[in-house]
Amino acid sequence: MKKQLFLILALLGIYCSFAQETTRRDSLQGGLRFERTCYDVLRYDLYLKVDPSNKWIMGTNEITFNVIEPTKKIQLDLFDNMIIEDISCFEFGTLEFTRDENAVFINFNTPLEKNKIYTLLFSYSGNPKVAKNAPWDGGFVFKKDNKGLDFIGVAVQGTGASLWYPCKDSQTDEPNLGASINVAVPNGLMNVSNGRFLGSKDLGDGYTRWDWEVKNPINNYDITLNIADYVHIHDQHNGLDLDYYVLRENEEKASKHFEADVKPMLDCFQLKFGKYPFWEDGYKLVETPYLGMEHQSAVAYGNKFKKGYMGFDLSGTGIGMKFDYITIHETGHEWFGNSITSKDIADMWIHEGFTTYTETVFIECTQGYEAAMKYVNGQSKNVRNDKPIIGQFGVNREGSGDMYYKGSLLLNTLRHVINNDEKWWSLLLKYAETYKKQIIDTPTVIAFFNQESGYNLTPIFNQYLNYTTLPQLEIKTQGTSFQYRWVTEEPNFNMPIDIEIGSKKIRLEPSNDWKKSKEPISSLEEIKVLTDKFYIKTIK
């Protein structure tokens, strides 16, 4: 049993993490001091040269920002192993700066004016951190393809985008006006980044620069580069551009493999969650030397054209082997994570819980309700209930890995609490549309679900997100009938639940106090609690 659990957790890249003391580095990266909140990033224009043989990069980031409050100092971020060559601004010339861990505090001679737009030119170089096991630890991945050609990617979620380029490394601020990513690589290789391809230029020094433009706001950790001997496969679906960049050797198998899932997936997701949110930038899958990541409009794909998760069904039901997990899950993030973004990574369940639920939604679209229920309940064996789903705020600290499967099971539970599928799908669609391209937090999610459902769902959210134990439905006989109540840490917990007695379906309205049913029973064995629709435990 332990070996099986270890295999599942290893495949997920999820491992036990115990309470850690926070450091100054953590608070500098995760906190929102005045030097961060006094300005709003409008745009990044990144120019980069990558030397694969030395695992070295150099470049500049033109950072355009609007001043919210007058200030003589702002904070940007760049990992302290990277060298700062120069920071300058047209109005002030070369600027002085100090470094504190990964934070870079930039000083101005006179205060920046409120509501005025400035552009910094931040030049840097160095050997960026190399990931040991991307995407679960952040960094660059330098590998070779089967022909011995360079195959390079980067994944930095959680670790921080400032690992490889200077930015305001906080999920609270995305470049409102998009970004350009211009990457020079050795001749014979291609770089693929987010958004639309603008063109390439031979620089005459053995390098070619590949230029990309993002029209939409974008998370810092979503900005990416992918370097390889790629071939380009183009397609369209209902007016949306579909572009696949894969290793030359995989062109034929990739075209067939993506055809099987991508179009049905897009039909399903757009029906349930609304129009693809980054239409202007197109949709891409890019083959990577690591498993995958939700890089906006350039989804990282490394599942080796297999069904399931690296050929393994994480649900244990067999249903997970009928689709490519990485394609479905990472694309689901385009709606939940990339479009709707959490302010703090402590609230990353807003990304992962909803996105894991998109897998179940895709199955229901393509295989029906019963298959979807079997799949989502199969995922429950991966829940550890080790620590709360919501992490510690302000210190760049996520909560439990249960944000994936327990988060998804919470949503499945809410669906059946609401007990009206027309209302449920309308609610999900309105949620995705209401907060499209916005940055939100858990209270915002709860308030929306309360308003749209007509239920007070706050105690339910609180129990699942803030505690490690599941709601326990306690049932005991009383004469020829029975009593029931909820046992929870969350006070005043009220959640409807359905049971069956024989062929009769009954909705109970338990609270933390004992209630008596009027339904006659001869034993508790007659009562079937519908735990496939409600993620709970029962005590009889």
Ranges of beta strands (E only) in 52-195 are 56-67, 71-77, 83-89, 93-94, 96-100, 103-112, 117-126, 139-144, 150-155, 179-186, 190-192
**pLDDT of 12 higher than 50:** no
Element (H or E) spanning 332, and its range?
helix 325-332
**pLDDT of 373 higher than 50:** yes
pLDDT band at 157 (very low <50, low <70, confident <90, very high): very high
Going by DSSP bridges, is the β-strand pair 240-247/283-287 parallel, antiparallel, or unpaired?
A: parallel
Percent of the chain with pLDDT over 90: 95
For 92-105, the pLDDT digits (tens) are 999 999 999 999 99
- Cβ contact 396:345 at 8 Å: yes
d(CA 433, CA 436): 5
Element (H or E) spanning 44, and its range?
strand 39-51
pLDDT of amino acid 20: 61
For 22-42, the pLDDT digits (tens) are 899 999 999 999 999 999 999
* Lowest mean pLDDT, pick from 7-11, 112-116, 211-215, 497-501: 7-11
Percent of the chain with pLDDT over 70: 96
**pLDDT of 3 higher than 60:** no
For 177-220, the pLDDT digits (tens) are 999 999 999 999 999 999 999 999 999 999 999 999 999 999 99
pLDDT band at 21 (very low <50, low <70, confident <90, very high): confident
pLDDT of amino acid 22: 86
**pLDDT of 2 higher than 60:** no
What is the DSSP secondary-structure string of 231-256? EEEEEEETTEEEEEEEEGGGHHHHHH
pLDDT of amino acid 15: 37
**pLDDT of 307 higher than 90:** yes
Residue 286 per-residue DSSP state = E
pLDDT of amino acid 8: 46
Q: How confident is the prediction for the chain on average, in pLDDT?
A: 95
**pLDDT of 4 higher than 80:** no
**pLDDT of 374 higher than 90:** yes
Helices (H) and strands (E) in the chain, counts: 11, 29
